[in-house]
Structure 1
Amino acid sequence: MRRLLLLAASAWLLASPAQAGGGLPKYPVSAVPAALRENAHAIIRRHEETLLVKSVGRTVETVHQVTTILDENGARWATEMVYYDQLSSVSYLRGAVYNEAGLLLRQLRAGDVGDISLSDGFSLASSGRGRVVDLRQPTYPYTVEFEYEVVSNNPLFYSSWYPQPTDQLSVEQASFRVLTPAELPLRYQERHLPAGVTLARSQQAALEVYQWEVTNLAAIEEEPDSPPISEFTPSVLTAPTSFEVQGHAGNLSSWQGLGQWSYDLNATRDVLPPELTARVAALVQGEADERVRIRKVYEFLQANTRYISIQLGIGGWQTFPASSVAANGYGDCKALSNYCMALLKAADVTAYCALVRADEPDIRTEFPSSQFNHVVLCVPLTRAARPDTVWLECTSQTNPFNYMGSFTGNRHALLITPTGGKLVRTPRYGAQENQRTRRTDVYLDALGSATATIQTRCTGLEQERLHSLLNGLSAAEQKKKVGDALPLNNFSITKFSLTANTRAALPAMNQTLGLTLPTFATTSGKRLFLTPNLLSRLPALPAAVGERQTDIWLDQAFSHADTVRIHVPAGLKPEALPAPVKLTTAFGTYSSQLHTLPDGTLQYVRRLIMPRTRFPRTDYPAYLEFRRKIGSADKVQLVLLKTES
């Protein structure tokens, strides 16, 4: 089910609904089976989606969906956004809303439909606009009905069907049909279809008909550390074998074919003005180290260009010439990557543009199709002592050299080469790269108040949140963002600094904090009670209600190292030190220990290393116990006793 929602843009609120009129009820909520209401915020009552392949270069998609909204958490299903661009058009968009009894409240009027410009800052193939409507109601439950048709001259994107795209959503009935001429056979991939659901093939005049249908899918309860829902709910991906976009024909039966089409579409667009070629040659003159030459070119790109989305028609796939970027100083992801490739060519370095799906789960590598939304640059090091590759994000003026991060790292990309497409992996970031090291000094007084100085260094994916604060925020705003994220109830920040090191092999952020903690310890008679683990407590997970349904998916590896030194004033000593904790499991390793240094300072040391991996759902009780033990150890208290004077 291809459902395009735009909650942020749903500003097109309707006037108060009309009084429920007469006529026979449609879609009364009472008709929904009780089992479909369990754990659900909304119910897809009916979904009918049809893709008609008119020719090698034209498709028509029609959608009819009826959804019952049970509560506020399901209200987003009362909004709809239908995407279109210069290669597609919306033939119609109709809608209606019904009360609980199924009586019509109102129908959409022309003035209820908004038309907005869309820009997500990185899209590969989106020149787009959207028709948006909002049928949200103040009283629950109610039912909304949408119908629309989109005619497209971009058959690279056939419909993908996800009848149950989110948790807490049940499905009463959903169907998907594809009608295509026999000479344009459909390529498709089925995943996780319910038992008994199979493809139905038939003939309609000269068209081959493919149809799937599901019924009575119960809502899925959200579970901690579960994979993306597309990994375990029904879906059907479809794609053409042959296609044509504005006269440019291609074959999509292999990754090589898609890459060849993209390469041919963009060939000869990497020519620079002669004066710029000479400037680049001078920039790297005498520099024998290939990696250093690449860095100089990349930093030149960052200093002299900016990202702007200009994607019209075939421009969703075809780049602006490098000479245009040189003249104007801007481009989209394709244009800037192509421009950087041309600059590197002038520096005697060979690079390749690469298609990637950014900021989303990885592509389905076993099903060649158009699954990408971004372009980056891949630079194989051909003269290095050992094989290596540099990856460049060309749309950012601040991204560290050779760093893909969570946006495009740990996934597959399609290299665009003269001999076609080739699937490769972007850099992997594991626990060794994603580190957070923290040193804290706490100075305690006899009444339980304290001051603290905290030095934190983060690398890899662990530094991304802090690095994002450097873009467009003042020091005061950065300080507030950091303060809001601290897991403390009573504190004030007395010192703050944030610095980046993007010149290192792995980007790093350094943060310094000074804190006052008026209630760091609580007192009771002769005793002070405090928790040595100041900032790194990992909460336990809720117990599973019933049998776990999904695998355990740990999607980001990391390594955390904390050292907390508690400087205790004279007259206080530990009554007893908590026992050390050490856990070694397949899910990760954990240790924590508190000991006394020779000068009387108490030192707490905590280590946690977690992998990026996946475990079967049957391992959840063991994983739950691992997290419970960490949560318990992280909250352990230290008791200080006042000694006799």
Structure 2
Amino acid sequence: MRSLFIFSFLFTLSISHVESQYQALLIDKSLTDNANAVVRLDEMKINVLATDKMVYTVNQVITVLNEKGNRHSLTRVGYDKEKKIKSLDVYVYNQTGKEIEHIKKKDFQDVNAADGISLYNDSRLLYHEYTPTSYPYTIAESYTIETSDTGFFPPWYFLSNYMVSVEKSYFEVLYATPELKPDVKEFNLDGISVDKIVEEGKIIYKAENINAIKSESYSPSFRDIVPRLSLRMKKFNLKGEEARVNNWNEMGVWINNALLKDRAILSEATVAKAKNLVKGITDDLEKARVIYKYVQDNTRYISVQVGIGGWEPISAIDVDNVKYGDCKGLSNYMHALLNAVGVTSYYTVIQAGNQKIDFDSEFSALQGNHAILAIPYNDQYYWVDCTSQIIPFGFAGEFTDDRLALVVKPEGGEIIKTVSYLNGQNHQKTVATYNLKDDGSISGEVSIKTKGTQYNQHFRIEEQSKDDVIEHYKDYWDNINNLNIEEYQFSNDKDSIVFTERIKVSATNYTSKTNNRILFKINAFNNNDYVPNRYRSRKQAVEVQRGFLDEDEFEVQLPEGYLVESIPSPVSIENEFGHYKITMDHDSENGLINYRRSWLLKSGLYPKEKYGAYRDFFKKVASGDNAQIVLLKNNQ
């Protein structure tokens, strides 16, 4: 009986210990501050067995504190022909650490990991979303992956997201032979305490008690501020293709010889057609424009993500036959057509998106999510995206501008920065004439001309329906109540890359009327009232990725019988962030006010101590834009 009692006591103690380690009340308060979830354990163990065999195991335990933290309880594990899920389990615990649910692999939904635009995609996804009944709760997931792809290592972030803290982080890589040892590059580890162990056949990083961070307006991108690791193997396997890459030059050689080889062949008939298209044209850039227009008019974008197709383009002859392709296939197709007419171009791999992300010039790991063309001409490059039927030739916009990309040349790869649109090049000119009436209504005409990245933000409106256009302007001019869009027309100069909008508008009750006075904001059509968030203790630097210049000219016809009683003084502000200037001329004889405004915001990276001054600059702009003019009725 005594032995049975001891066994029963020890068994109960063991279960209590397992449960107690997941009690939410045990979490240190410093980890719950500014946190929606706490990662109790974040563990990854990678075992590199060969250039074409890697196994990694993930164990992650997350305590979700509130409803906002629920998104961190979603378990998603991808797989494909080369990537197999060997095991998958999820356990859910309540706030006292008691197990309340066990989710097995068979309970997961198995879906195609389609992106909505892929014609072919063999990637699949197992996912499960737990629906909580109370908070806090803890979810523990573990899975093991076996893959023949060693070109990519799972990314390792010591902090996975904003408003998430980490109790224990453990990252381990084992490798079977010295040749299989991966290179590791560290980022932003200064802010945390990390134990690092490097021994023969083993690399380990351990960290504990990493506090959550808040998202802050105008901070650098998350990947640029959090502690993380990047890994690569110099000899690797990708979808059955072997590679040995020590630097970007060799990466370019491998892409050119392994992925692009024999992909740019066209039929004799298509070569003849291409040559006929540029017949009589001697300038290479003009030839490229003609070929680009042909590609836009005769192909469409559809993604292909099957096997090596995620990296290797469809052959040019196949694109020519079926008239569609993904970014790789269409870029390679245009490259082939340019070859046919004697124009040099280079296949280019880039990390595309509105957030500028550079290729790491010192770390030649497989990366990038998009392919474009680089066309050398007169000692510069023209960057051409072949996936859109509407983007002008050579316009990078905000999708591929101002970032380091891998240009693949026959002699090897080269890291080159794409075109930058700097400050005043991102220009918007708004010219308006409008009439104020005694009943508070306004009517007038507005012209908006945009260039650079501001062109990118405007020109797609010409593709929209009438209802969507009207809704757009009501949102764009949300400072004007009861806005009516009477007419509009657009002009898209794709050669100069200038977009012009002409809009005829009217609105009731724009002004405020008190007795014999009318109050109104003269800046009706480019009014800014945005002020960045205030932070008592700013943590991150201030980054303005893209600057701009707005220039406005408004002529306002005052209602008959009214005089200007009060008009704002001129404004002139110049500082390291840019400038803001306003002038107003009152022509009392003709009842007119001429308004001039110029706002330049410069791109740049500023220390966190500058945020207060930066925010104050926006406050002054908002104050100036919303200043009112007071009119007094002349009773004489």
User: TM-score scaled to structure 2, two decimals?
Assistant: 0.92
Secondary structure, aligned partner of 1:574? strand
Match of 1:606 among 578, 588, 597: 597
1:450 paired to 2:446 = no
Secondary structure, aligned partner of 2:472? helix
- 1:61 paired residue number: 56
- 2:477 paired residue number: 486
Secondary structure, aligned partner of 2:76? strand
**Equivalent AA in structure 1 for residue 508 of structure 2:** P
Alpha-carbon spacing, 1:126–1:500, altered in 2? closer, same or farther (3 Å): farther
Q: How far apart are 1:294 and its partner, in Å?
A: 0.4
- 2:343 paired residue number: 349
Match of 1:223 among 216, 225, 229: 216
Alpha-carbon spacing, 1:143–1:516, altered in 2? closer, same or farther (3 Å): farther
For 2:235 and 2:69, how far apart are their aligned partners in 1? Answer: 39
**Equivalent AA in structure 2 for residue 367 of structure 1:** F
Alpha-carbon spacing, 1:304–1:79, altered in 2? closer, same or farther (3 Å): same
Q: How far apart are 1:25 and its partner, in Å?
A: 4.5
For 1:124 and 1:63, how far apart are their aligned partners in 2? Answer: 31
Secondary structure, aligned partner of 1:440? strand
- 1:13 paired residue number: none
User: Rg larger in 1 or in 2?
Assistant: 2
- 1:417 paired residue number: 409
Match of 2:453 among 453, 461, 479: 461
**Equivalent AA in structure 2 for residue 143 of structure 1:** T
**Equivalent AA in structure 2 for residue 518 of structure 1:** T
Match of 2:181 among 170, 179, 185: 185
- 1:287 paired residue number: 281
- 1:578 paired residue number: 568
- 1:433 paired residue number: 425
**Equivalent AA in structure 1 for residue 109 of structure 2:** G
- 1:232 paired residue number: 225
1:636 paired to 2:627 = yes
Gaps (5+ residues) in structure 1?
1-20
**Equivalent AA in structure 1 for residue 368 of structure 2:** F
Q: How far apart are 1:124 and its partner, in Å?
A: 14
- 2:10 paired residue number: none
Gaps (5+ residues) in structure 2?
1-15
For 1:511 and 1:636, how far apart are their aligned partners in 2? Answer: 26
Match of 2:244 among 251, 260, 270: 251
Match of 1:155 among 150, 157, 165: 150
Q: How far apart are 1:555 and its partner, in Å?
A: 0.9
Q: How far apart are 1:263 and its partner, in Å?
A: 0.5
Alpha-carbon spacing, 1:41–1:512, altered in 2? closer, same or farther (3 Å): farther
Higher mean Cα deviation, 124-133 or 368-377? 124-133
Secondary structure, aligned partner of 1:230? helix
- 2:5 paired residue number: none
Match of 2:91 among 84, 88, 96: 96
Secondary structure, aligned partner of 1:261? helix
For 1:122 and 1:354, how far apart are their aligned partners in 2? Answer: 21
Q: How far apart are 1:63 and its partner, in Å?
A: 1.2
Higher mean Cα deviation, 85-94 or 181-190? 85-94
Alpha-carbon spacing, 1:403–1:250, altered in 2? closer, same or farther (3 Å): same
For 1:127 and 1:226, how far apart are their aligned partners in 2? Answer: 37
Higher mean Cα deviation, 272-281 or 98-107? 98-107
Alpha-carbon spacing, 1:418–1:123, altered in 2? closer, same or farther (3 Å): farther
For 1:377 and 1:235, how far apart are their aligned partners in 2? Answer: 31
Alpha-carbon deviations, 1:85-130, whole Å to 9, x = none?
A: 3321222332122222222221214554122223447899975222
1:397 paired to 2:392 = no
For 1:549 and 1:124, how far apart are their aligned partners in 2? Answer: 44
- Cα RMSD (Å): 2.3
- 2:556 paired residue number: 566
Report % sequence identity: 28
Q: How far apart are 1:494 and its partner, in Å?
A: 2.8
Q: How far apart are 1:586 and its partner, in Å?
A: 1.0
Alpha-carbon deviations, 1:236-289, whole Å to 9, x = none?
A: 111111112355322232111211111011212211000110111111111012
- 1:168 paired residue number: 163
Secondary structure, aligned partner of 2:199? strand
Q: Indicate conservation of the 8 Å contact 2:292/2:393, yes or no.
A: yes
- 1:365 paired residue number: 361
Secondary structure, aligned partner of 2:180? coil
Alpha-carbon spacing, 1:488–1:261, altered in 2? closer, same or farther (3 Å): same
Secondary structure, aligned partner of 2:159? coil
1:517 paired to 2:511 = no
**Equivalent AA in structure 2 for residue 620 of structure 1:** Y
Q: Indicate conservation of the 8 Å contact 1:356/1:376, yes or no.
A: yes
For 2:536 and 2:605, how far apart are their aligned partners in 1? Answer: 21
- 1:541 paired residue number: 532
- 1:276 paired residue number: 270
- 2:545 paired residue number: 555
For 1:520 and 1:612, how far apart are their aligned partners in 2? Answer: 35
Alpha-carbon spacing, 1:318–1:202, altered in 2? closer, same or farther (3 Å): same
Q: Indicate conservation of the 8 Å contact 2:374/2:407, yes or no.
A: yes
Q: How far apart are 1:585 and its partner, in Å?
A: 0.9
**Equivalent AA in structure 1 for residue 479 of structure 2:** L
Secondary structure, aligned partner of 1:623? helix
Q: Indicate conservation of the 8 Å contact 1:249/1:261, yes or no.
A: no
For 1:230 and 1:24, how far apart are their aligned partners in 2? Answer: 35
Alpha-carbon deviations, 1:545-596, whole Å to 9, x = none?
A: 12x2111100111111122222101111211221111111111111112221
For 2:493 and 2:78, how far apart are their aligned partners in 1? Answer: 38
For 2:503 and 2:139, how far apart are their aligned partners in 1? Answer: 51
Secondary structure, aligned partner of 2:305? coil
Alpha-carbon deviations, 1:340-361, whole Å to 9, x = none?
A: 1010011110111000011142
For 1:419 and 1:257, how far apart are their aligned partners in 2? Answer: 9
Higher mean Cα deviation, 277-286 or 527-536? 527-536
Q: Indicate conservation of the 8 Å contact 1:307/1:333, yes or no.
A: yes
Match of 1:503 among 494, 502, 508: 494
- 2:374 paired residue number: 378
Match of 1:50 among 45, 51, 70: 45
1:526 paired to 2:526 = no
For 1:104 and 1:198, how far apart are their aligned partners in 2? Answer: 32
Alpha-carbon spacing, 1:93–1:604, altered in 2? closer, same or farther (3 Å): farther
For 1:237 and 1:124, how far apart are their aligned partners in 2? Answer: 31
For 1:159 and 1:124, how far apart are their aligned partners in 2? Answer: 26
Alpha-carbon spacing, 1:84–1:419, altered in 2? closer, same or farther (3 Å): same
**Equivalent AA in structure 2 for residue 230 of structure 1:** R
For 1:444 and 1:482, how far apart are their aligned partners in 2? Answer: 20
Alpha-carbon spacing, 1:293–1:129, altered in 2? closer, same or farther (3 Å): same
Pairs aligned (count)? 614
Secondary structure, aligned partner of 1:154? coil
- 1:117 paired residue number: 112
Q: Indicate conservation of the 8 Å contact 1:413/1:423, yes or no.
A: yes
**Equivalent AA in structure 2 for residue 483 of structure 1:** K
Q: How far apart are 1:300 and its partner, in Å?
A: 0.6
- 1:627 paired residue number: 618
- 1:406 paired residue number: 398
Match of 1:79 among 74, 82, 87: 74
Please list, as runs of the form range in 1=range in 2, the aligned pairs for 1:188-207 lying within 5 A after superposition.
188-193=184-189, 194-203=191-200
For 1:518 and 1:220, how far apart are their aligned partners in 2? Answer: 46
1:130 paired to 2:129 = no
Alpha-carbon deviations, 1:339-392, whole Å to 9, x = none?
A: 1101001111011100001114223322221121111011112xxxx4222221
Q: Indicate conservation of the 8 Å contact 2:86/2:145, yes or no.
A: yes
- 1:34 paired residue number: 29
For 1:474 and 1:62, how far apart are their aligned partners in 2? Answer: 50
Q: How far apart are 1:210 and its partner, in Å?
A: 0.8
Q: How far apart are 1:455 and its partner, in Å?
A: 1.7
